[in-house]
Amino acid sequence: MLAWLHQAIATEHEQLEVLLSAAPGNEMMSQEVLGHITEGVCRPLKIRIEQVLVADPGAVLLFRLSNVLKFYQQTIGGVVGDQAADLLVTLAKMEHLGRQVFLSTLAQHAGSMLDKVETPSADLSPPALLNQTLTLLCELLTSQDAWVVPLDDRQAHFSQVLSCVLDPLLQMVSLEAGELQRPAMATFLVNCLHRVHGALAPHEVSEERLDSLQLQIDAHLDTLVSENASFVLSSAGLGSIYAFLQQRKGSQTPLSEEPTLDVSSVKTAMMQFDRYLSSPDHLILPQLDLLLSATLREKVKKRSAEVVCDAYEDVYMALTAPGQAYGNLAAVIPRTSAQIRHLQFRH
């Protein structure tokens, strides 16, 4: 109906210009006549649009309808000027009503998300409701991308939509992660946030919003790096030594005389660490295998390996410092920190 109305008004406008071409002030007169002509269409147009809105066509169609009404309001206004005030007011009211119904539909969806907070699945994958909501958002974004208005206007227009849907979605994910232990929580949140970021990135979403998501992902990756490095150090025999050295301050006692750092204990720890070096990829935090992104998984492994190497270097420097009374250092600590780095990253 809107397309027909636009075409009819354009045709009437052209015919009036021809008819009134010889009259003084013909453009103003033409717009005034158009205003009278279009008055009669306001009520049936309003009824037709209200029928569509009442039928609950879904968020995507409501969003498209609101955008179409905005487009025709501007387009028809460019033809009829200010004289067809009734028609333009009707279009503006219907556009506003359509947007309110659309936002109300989104608010209901957001409310249902927070009512359906569940425990994450064992594989720590994003919940089905997150995937469904992202599908909805992508459909809305696709409609927005095709909207013929400046980019800044589109982004400003859609920011309210993102706030209405994305913020509750992220809140739901955080609530679901709340009962998990740190490694599982970080893995679950990275999986969810990475899925959200990947869905939004191809569309015209503000850089600020994408940067915020990336910062959250990076923060949880930092947690995984720390947890994985601690797991490796503990499992590979260096955890207790490194922790003791981190806490030891000001003591003048040789390290070899400390109960947990005698020659035998250090040798045993170094042998255990050597076994880890033979196949470092086999000793990782179990939750890392549940990261859906292979790229992020490898990133965490690499950064964790760097942390482990840094920790070994601290241990090596402390144990080989003068006065620690370990005797034959090569027999107690056979590998230098440089050799450890080479072995860690030889692949």
Instruction: Kindly state whether residue 254 falls inside one of the protein's structural domains.
Output: yes
pLDDT lower than 70: segments of the chain: 1, 6, 9-10, 12-32, 34-35, 79-84, 145-157, 250, 346-347
Instruction: Kindly state whether residue 28 falls inside one of the protein's structural domains.
Output: yes
Contact 287, 124 (CB under 8 A): yes
Q: Structural domain of residue 35, as residue ranges?
A: 1-115
Instruction: Kindly state whether residue 251 falls inside one of the protein's structural domains.
Output: yes
C-alpha closest to that of 275 among 335, 318, 326: 335
Instruction: Kindly state whether residue 221 falls inside one of the protein's structural domains.
Output: no
- Which of 56, 90, 115 is the C-terminal boundary of a domain? 115
Which structure tokens are listed for 315? 């241990």
Contact 204, 144 (CB under 8 A): yes
Per-residue confidence (pLDDT) for residue 271, from 0 to 100: 92
- Which of 115, 148, 175 is the C-terminal boundary of a domain? 115
Backbone angles phi and psi of 298, in degrees to 5 = -70, -35
- Which of 115, 130, 154 is the C-terminal boundary of a domain? 115
Instruction: Kindly state whether residue 220 falls inside one of the protein's structural domains.
Output: no
Degrees, nearest 5: CA angle 11-143-200: 160
pLDDT tens digits, 188-222: 999 999 999 999 888 877 788 899 999 999 999 99
- The number of domains in the chain is 2
Instruction: Kindly state whether residue 225 falls inside one of the protein's structural domains.
Output: no
Per-residue confidence (pLDDT) for residue 80, from 0 to 100: 67
Stated pTM of the model = 0.82
Instruction: Kindly state whether residue 201 falls inside one of the protein's structural domains.
Output: no
Instruction: Kindly state whether residue 273 falls inside one of the protein's structural domains.
Output: yes
